[in-house]
Amino acid sequence: MIVLINTYQKYYIIALFFWILATYTKKKKTSILSRQIKKIKMIKIKHLKLYSSNISLKY
């Protein structure tokens, strides 16, 4: 379980980095990229919430 959480944290950090990069650069391509990353961030947060609820149910 610890390994799974660590991989999700890595993805979240990468997504956050790209989101910051996209917000600082004002280009159409990056704005599309930031929209996709926002979607990815939302999905990751949902997954983390799901996993945390599953862990709390198991223990």
Average pLDDT score, the chain: 68
- Asked if pLDDT for residue 14 goes beyond 70, the answer is yes
Please state the domain count of the chain. 1
* The predicted structure's pLDDT at residue 51: 64
pLDDT in tens, 28-45: 565 666 777 777 777 776
- For the chain, the three-class secondary structure string (H helix, E strand, C coil) is CHHHHHHHHHHHHHHHHHHHHHHHCCCHHHHHHHHHHHHHHHHHHHHHHHHHHHHHHHC
Q: What is the pLDDT of residue 33?
A: 67
Among 12-16, 21-25, 28-32, the range scoring the smallest mean pLDDT is 28-32
Range of the domain at 47: 2-58
